[in-house]
Amino acid sequence: MNIYDLTVKNNKGEDVSLADYKGKVLLIVNTATRCGLTQQYEGLERLYEKYSAQGFEVLDFPCNQFAFQAPGSDEKIDSFCKLKYDTRFPRFAKIKVNGSDEAPLYTYLKSQFEGRIKWNFTKFLIGKDGTVKARFEPTQTPEKAESAIEQELSL
């Protein structure tokens, strides 16, 4: 199994195969709109703007699992992110990242880098080959991933 075997739901409820992102460098992030770390959307958008033309994507998975900090519908979350942070990267349906009903994507990601997701804005870097290259904890800003992103894009 690899990341390209997985299917997720976009924020309109439609199936999206992660195979659609084959050959790209991905930063997969569980996010929240009412979290002390929500301002990380600014850094995520800056990375996306800087590297998207080179084959980089940020995949945003809102998660209401931590202190209910991602309330509202997928549509409201998307609207908030676009209006407040001018985000342009893909946003998906709200998911769970821990527990018996966690999303299969996060079961896979955690199998590559052990440990529960501790909070919102945990970031996983996926190489062009679809393998998980790094995990960045919530307190690590998106900018901390930049050199690793550049390295993966240069391969």
Catalytic residue among 26, 29, 32, 35: 35
Rounded-to-integer distance, Cα 38 and Cα 126, Å: 22
Rounded-to-integer distance, Cα 124 and Cα 30, Å: 9
Write the burial class of residue 13 (CB in 10 Å: 0-12 exposed, 13-18 middle, 19+ buried).
Answer: exposed
Nearest to 119 by CA among 31, 47, 17, 24: 31
User: Is 63 known to be catalytic?
Assistant: no
Active site residues: 35
